[in-house]
Homo-oligomer: A and B are copies of this chain.
Amino acid sequence: MSGREFNSWQTVQTEVLRRINAREWKPGDFIPNEAELAVEFGCARATVNRALRSLAESGLLDRRRKAGTRVAVNPVRKATLSIPVIRHEIEGKGQSYRHTVLTQERAVPPAEIRARMRTEPGVQLMHLVTLHMADGKPYVFGNRWINPKAVPGVETADLSSQSANEWLVANVPFEGGDFSFSAMTAGTQEAEILACRQGDALVVIDRSTWNTTHVITSVRLTFAPGYRMHTEI
């Protein structure tokens, strides 16, 4: 006796998941509404809401007011990809980190960058080429443009002791960004900088970040051969 009834939102969530997996509720089916489930599970409606909302956020349920809740027909899986600061990524593997600024200048960017950064023709940006090393070996090569209008103070910042990435993360809040992932073949420049062979396949990440008024920075990271980005679903 005793054995207090235990219906946390996680209990509810687990049971709902079980029913979906057991196909008691099939993709496309409507499930009972919150009030009914609350009665069935002997808990408050808010508790059911918490459980179902969480499942909806991960894409397993579709919820709409008035219509109700149904099992997602096409469970689009979402992986959350964490984007660490490169130094942390390297140190996290137990390797030593070092970085070098290869060039730092003010320059008018090429058209492609100008489009991505939404600046006017002829406007100069800060251009920074850096190399990050793990245990002394080239790890990733960064080609970065920064809009000084969006980042007051960047011109006087010391970007040799702290990488531009870290300086920006620590000093410039941003609202959003985009991120893309592709592959390229190492040419002479990449082979030289990354100490690899021409023709090696390299992972390339292009990333921009912006705040409400400006595109802050746009960077292309070119990784040494063998790089692999990993995540769990």
Task: Kindly provide the distance from the CB of A211 to the nearest chain B CB, expressed in whole angstroms.
Answer: 8
Main DSSP-derived SS at the A contact region: strand
Residues in B neighbouring A183, C-beta threshold 8 A: 183-184, 201-204, 225, 227
Residues in B neighbouring A76, C-beta threshold 8 A: 82-84
A80 contact from B79, B182, B201, Cβ within 8 A: B79
Stretch at the interface among A109-117, A121-129, A172-180: A172-180
Residues in B neighbouring A27, C-beta threshold 8 A: 170
Q: Which residues 62-93 in A have Cβ within 8 Å of B in the complex?
A: 74-85, 88
Check A231/B81 contact, CB under 8 A, given A74-B88, A173-B21, A181-B181. yes
A169 contact from B23, B74, B184, B209, Cβ within 8 A: B74
- Which of A169, A201, A225 counts the most B-chain CB atoms under 10 A from its CB? A201
A187-218, CB under 8 A of B: which get 1 and which 0?
A: 00000000000011111100001010000000
Task: Kindly provide the distance from the CB of A194 to the nearest chain B CB, expressed in whole angstroms.
Answer: 13
Residues in B neighbouring A40, C-beta threshold 8 A: none
Task: Kindly provide the distance from the CB of A197 to the nearest chain B CB, expressed in whole angstroms.
Answer: 10
10 contacts between A and B (CB under 8 A): A75-B169, A79-B81, A79-B179, A80-B80, A179-B230, A180-B229, A180-B231, A183-B204, A183-B227, A184-B201
